[in-house]
Amino acid sequence: MKNILVRYGELTLKGNNRNHFITKLIQNIKFQLKEFKEEVVYTKDNNSLTLGVKEEVFDQVLARIQNVFGIYSLSIIEKSSLDFDEIANAVLKIAEKSSAKTFKLEVFRKDKSYPITSTEMKQKLAPLVLKNNQHLKVDVHHPELKIEVVIKKDHADIFDSRINALKGLPVGVSGKGLSLLSGGIDSPVASFLTMKRGMTVDFLHFMTPPHTSAEALTKVFDLAKIVAKYNYNRFSLFICNFTPLLEELNHIPNQTYKINIMRRMFVRIANQLAFKTNSKAIITGESLGQVASQTIESINTINSVSTLPILRPVLTYDKEEIIKISKQIGTYETSILPFDDACSMFVPKNPTTKPKLREAEFNEKDLLWEELLNHTVQNLIEEFVWINGEFVKKEEE
């Protein structure tokens, strides 16, 4: 058995919500580790959780929990009773395993009733380490090895490193949002960043068969799968057939408004779907000024058809910054596969960069979009539910 200490970090600051957040976090961790039910034992205390993990699955468990939002940092710890000799043995064990030349000891007494003070502990432990490890020297400023001893109420934790985790908030504590997922680089990153603040994410993709291929659709499923490991345990991917509406958009008098009006249709559909499925926000991967259709004027004309707030987590990010995150979360290689989604295929030659709301409304006036939109929402959206690591098509009731 090896032990992993999980620190909650920011969660400890959240007043009344704290218990709710911690319960959610533990539930999310257990869900990520559900195939290791027999191999992991959970022990909770005030500011942390300890997982006792069987050696044979230790690496897998450590990798999995690093994808869970709401964990501040992790340490692989030696657990000891409060007996001084046992603590000293654990410290020596860590020192022996290390190839460092310099070290520093830190002792924290979470339980002040422990009879030996932190300073006394250090004064007793350091000479033991030096005696047992002739090659080690003390360096309090830049130690290669830092051994920390944390004295708690009924045991002590001893460890030598803190692994940075994803931080953020446990997914599920901030409700649910509907993310417009294209096959590109930006929208998976925007979805990930929304999950980071505790929001469960459902996805909505617009396809336009036969103009878009089966590969383009597979790519969208793959992207949703990749970010599933950060998402809540249950979520949906909605696939909307946008072809009838797209064909209607050919009748817009001013074709430079086509993309803008297409976006307005996307958002109208997203609003209707979100109300049905209890999502409280819409999420997009728009980034200010990235392309001609992502100006503040365009954002305004899009927002004006939305009742729900539209969250744009990467609005202020440079492309490079977005790419960096997409590589970290593993979506980049899939995003750059060359299969076009609805948007990239129908960019008119000169899309307007400064659309005006009145002009957009004027251009929609003579279209038959309302009937078509209702028809699309009612009949042309398929739902796929993430269950046990795969998408399962939801059949009509």
Residue 39 binds which one of ligand ATP, Mg ion, none, with CB within 5 to 8 A depending on kind? none
State which residue, 103 or 266, has the beta carbon closest to ligand ATP.
Answer: 266
Applying CB under 6 A, among 39, 78, 157, 286 the residue interacting with ligand ATP is: 286
CB contact set of 257 (below 8 Å; sequence gap of 6+): 352, 355, 359, 360, 363
263 annotated as a binding-site residue: yes
Between CA 174 and CA 12 the distance in angstroms is 17
Between CA 105 and CA 250 the distance in angstroms is 71
CB of 201 vs ligand ATP, minimal distance in Å: 12
Place of tokens 């074709």: 255
Strand partners, 104: 146
206 annotated as a binding-site residue: yes
Place of tokens 């927002």: 303
DSSP E strands, 11-124: 40-44, 48-53, 73-80, 102-109
Cβ-contact 60, 81 below 8 angstroms: no
375 annotated as a binding-site residue: no
Residue 342 binds which one of ligand ATP, Mg ion, none, with CB within 5 to 8 A depending on kind? ligand ATP
State which residue, 156 or 237, has the beta carbon closest to ligand ATP.
Answer: 237
| Binding-residue total with ligand ATP (CB under 6 A) | 20
272 annotated as a binding-site residue: no
33 annotated as a binding-site residue: no
Applying CB under 6 A, among 28, 50, 67, 187 the residue interacting with ligand ATP is: 187
Structure tokens at 134: 């002739």
Structure tokens at 397: 């009731």
CB contact set of 162 (below 8 Å; sequence gap of 6+): 7, 73, 74, 75
Region 156-185 residues binding ligand ATP, contact defined as CB under 6 A? 180-182, 184-185
Region 325-354 residues binding ligand ATP, contact defined as CB under 6 A? 341-344
Residues in touch with Mg ion (CB under 5 A): 182, 184, 343
295 part of the interface to ligand ATP, by CB under 6 A: no
Strands 145-151 and 156-159, bridge-based pairing: antiparallel
Output the known binding site for ATP: 180-181, 205-206, 263, 285, 294
Q: Which residues bind ligand ATP (CB under 6 A)?
A: 180-182, 184-187, 205-206, 284-286, 290-291, 293-294, 341-344
